[in-house]
Amino acid sequence: MRHLPSLTGLRVFEVAARHGSFKLAADELCVTQAAVSRQIRQLEEGFAVDLFLRGHRKVSLTPAGKKLYLSTHNAFADIAKTSQEIQSESLPNYLNLYATSSFSRLWLVPRLPQLRKLHPDIHLQLTSLEQNPNMADKFEAGITLGLEKSELYESDFLFSEVIFPVCTPQLLAENPDIVNLDCLIQHSLLELDSKFWQAKWWQPVDWATWLLQLDQSEQDEPKKALKGVTPDMMFSHFPMLLDAVLQGVGIGLGWQHLVQDMLDDGRLVRPVPDSFKAIERKHYFVCRKDLVDKPEMVHLRDWLLSQTAIFRH
């Protein structure tokens, strides 16, 4: 090891030899061209041999320079590779999970502290989409509405949707006449616009659709109420609509898995008991088969199943 020349000089030499230019080497190393020339000259003096043939606008390697370049380039490449491997081993292994912005913001994010407490080994990289992820992209895991058949993925049923009107307790108290559907639709109705429903697998559930889907064998109100449905405001995303409901702007349709927490803590109430149980609108946890036994994936799957069990009953 005592025969090693200056490691700084070797680094400068490798860059200069790779570029065939002292100027480009100076640019890469963020030093002056004079500093590069000085380091190279010190190496040459130490070896007592020229490493470069200096031309007017460029430099080229001498036979000794070519020999040294081959050695230094391979050595630095090996060091860089090993450094990257060590850094990768020390960084968390992130698990990419796809979900809609509504599910991520209203259901998943509020529960992340609990997940972190139970499973600190899980490091999520959350990606929000307004449609199901494309299985051809070989994503790691996702929460999907509907299930696209694929031999590359395994799936677990989480829940089906239950949809019903929601509003604030204050709005209901200020409008005691809301006793049935026919009365309800006379008030400010908030709705998602048609563009929201253009994503893959999604069929619209607006006020008109919701009223039609109710069990009309037990009541005639949906037919009667349907004639007077005129939403007062339209929103491009459900979280925005829900914010408006929470501000008392009007009455909106709420998906049970997204609003149950707000019903439990009293921020929202159901003005009428009617609900549409959309059994066919099934949500799944899907993950790649080659990752299904990964400890973080097992823990995430089990946690999601336990947290959504209430919606499967």
**pLDDT for the residue 166:** 98
**pLDDT for the residue 217:** 43
In terms of domains, do 86 and 100 share one?
no
> For residue 134, which amino acid is it?
N
**pLDDT for the residue 151:** 86
Domain with 244 in it:
94-312
DSSP letters, 154-185, are EEEEEEEEEEEEEB-HHHHHH-TT--SHHHHT
Q: Are strands 141-145 and 276-288 parallel, antiparallel or unpaired?
A: antiparallel
pLDDT at residue 313 above 90?
Answer: no
**pLDDT for the residue 213:** 87
Most confident residue range from 20-24, 95-99, 158-162: 158-162
**pLDDT for the residue 7:** 87
Q: Please write the tens of the pLDDT for every residue from 185-225.
A: 899 999 998 888 876 567 889 999 999 888 554 555 666 66
- CA 240 – CA 242 distance, rounded (Å): 5
CB 253 within 8 A of CB 163: yes
Within 40-192, strands assigned E span 52-54, 59-61, 94-100, 123-129, 141-145, 153-166, 189-192
The total number of structural domains in the chain stands at 2
Q: Please write the tens of the pLDDT for every residue from 254-275.
A: 999 999 999 999 999 999 999 9
In a domain, residue 2? The reply is no
In terms of domains, do 194 and 73 share one?
no
In terms of domains, do 176 and 85 share one?
no
Among candidates 147, 101, 157, which has minimal Cα distance to 126? 101
**Distance set, CA 288 to CA 70, 122, 138, 203 (Å):** 43, 17, 7, 26
Q: What is the mean pLDDT of residues 101-110?
A: 93
Share of the chain above pLDDT 90, in %: 56
**Distance set, CA 140 to CA 74, 277, 290 (Å):** 35, 30, 9
Find the CATH number of the domain harbouring 56: 1.10.10.10
In terms of domains, do 17 and 127 share one?
no
Q: Please write the tens of the pLDDT for every residue from 149-196.
A: 888 899 999 999 999 999 999 999 999 999 899 899 899 999 998 888
pLDDT at residue 305 above 50?
Answer: yes
pLDDT at residue 86 above 80?
Answer: no
In a domain, residue 57? The reply is yes
In terms of domains, do 140 and 261 share one?
yes
At residue 121 the predicted structure's pLDDT band, cuts being 50, 70 and 90, is confident
Residue 204 DSSP SS3: coil
Q: What mean pLDDT is reported for the chain? A: 88
- CA 236 – CA 244 distance, rounded (Å): 12
Q: What is the mean pLDDT of residues 76-93?
A: 75
**pLDDT for the residue 222:** 62
In a domain, residue 223? The reply is yes
Find the CATH number of the domain harbouring 292: 3.40.190.290
In terms of domains, do 20 and 164 share one?
no
Q: Please say which residue of 90, 112, 135 terminates a domain.
A: 90
